[in-house]
Amino acid sequence: MPLDLDLSSEQDMLAEMVAGVAERYCPLSTVRELEDDPTGYSTDLWAQLGELGLIGLLLPEEHGGSGMSMVDAVVVYRELGRALVPSPHLVSSVLAGGLIARGGTDEQRSTWLPSLASGESVWTVAVHEPGGGFTEGGITARATATDDGFSLSGTKRHVCFASAAEHLLVAARGADDRVDLFVVDAGADRLTLTQQMTIASDTQYQVDLDNTPAVRLGDAGTGWANWNRTLTQAVILLAAQAV
């Protein structure tokens, strides 16, 4: 039986809607202006995506998401890419939201996902390190247990939209040398952001942590497997954005 690769009428309508919103709230002139804005994205467009339920499009409905399919998400990302829209959607909703949905405790999911899915709070992920590549072996940041959680030390680079984020999900090694993910509040002590200049003029930061307080996401020893599963989904959407 041949595989049906055609979009449904609902998905065609979704594409038209996203294209219209992008054209209205983030035209090319706005994209150019955002190159010099440390925030790096249109808050007007972000608000519209939230009203349409598209920020949490892949997140579970029980936590405020829309529970849409990956094909739906591909449709959305294709239109965002066509309009060259800079947005924290990938790092906040797809990566951070996906990591919390897959690996967080019940309490963490119910605490963090609703505001993330609505767009009220923006998250980012801090994984890659100077010269560390894209493998688990490249993670050298350390997590040390404290009386009320953990403290993190290390340097992360290419952290997208860090200046706009309320929380960062940081990959670090614990006492058992396994990589876990840790939540750091943007206003935490001993957290420093330095904007990186990129060829694309997009919003990326170096993040320096020096015994910065943090909370572990989910169970010990599950962080890297969770990251790999979620990253696979994000790569598919990046490809759709580039079409």
User: According to the model, what pLDDT value does residue 35 have?
Assistant: 87
Q: What confidence score (pLDDT) does residue 6 get?
A: 82
Which two three-digit tokens encode residue 100?
């919390």
Dihedral sign computed on CA atoms, order 178, 220, 125, 91 = positive
Q: What is the pLDDT of residue 203?
A: 86
The pLDDT, as a whole number, for residue 38 is 85
Provide the residue-wise pLDDT of the chain in tens; the chain has 243 residues: 454 568 899 999 999 999 999 999 999 999 999 988 888 999 999 999 999 999 999 999 999 999 999 999 999 999 999 999 999 999 999 999 999 999 999 999 999 999 999 999 999 999 999 987 789 999 999 999 999 999 999 999 999 999 999 999 999 999 899 999 999 999 999 999 999 987 777 789 999 999 999 999 999 999 999 999 999 999 999 999 998
Helix boundaries (H) for the chain? 9-25, 28-34, 43-51, 70-82, 89, 98-103, 106-118, 223-242
Candidates 121, 217, 202; CA nearest to 164 is 121
- The domain ranges of the chain are 9-121+230-242, 123-219
CATH of domain 123-219: 2.40.110.10
Cβ proximity of 143 and 149 under 8 Å: no
Question: Tokens 């709070």 sit at which residue?
Answer: 121
Assess if CATH 1.10.540.10 describes domain 9-121+230-242: yes
Q: pTM to 2 decimals?
A: 0.94
CA distance 212 to 59: 29
